[in-house]
Amino acid sequence: MDEIKKLRDKIDVIDDKLMNLLEKRYILTREIGIQKEQSNKEVFDVNRESHILNKISKYSHSPQIRHVYTTIIHESKKEQRK
């Protein structure tokens, strides 16, 4: 097996885990949206968003991870509004 195939196989395993975790995250996000709606809270929580984005700085690929998480947060807000 060539080296590129081996590396891609490793990425595939990671991607499967990421997708599974994202699915679970969006289920929880929807539940939070229901709780916020019932308690008349706003979807946007600046403290929570800052907390998540600040944790990213410790990673060597933080610009790329920040970009991904900005999208995740945006989609989470949409999910909470459903």
Contact 81, 43 (CB under 8 A): yes
Instruction: Tell me the pLDDT band of 78, cut-offs 50, 70 and 90.
Output: very high
Widest Cα–Cα separation across the chain? 56
Contact 36, 82 (CB under 8 A): no
Please give the model's pTM, rounded to 2 decimal places. Answer: 0.86
Q: What CATH number does the domain containing 66 carry?
A: 1.20.59.10
For 17-34, the pLDDT digits (tens) are: 999 999 999 999 999 999
* Range of the structural domain that residue 58 is part of: 3-80
In the chain, how many domains are there?
1
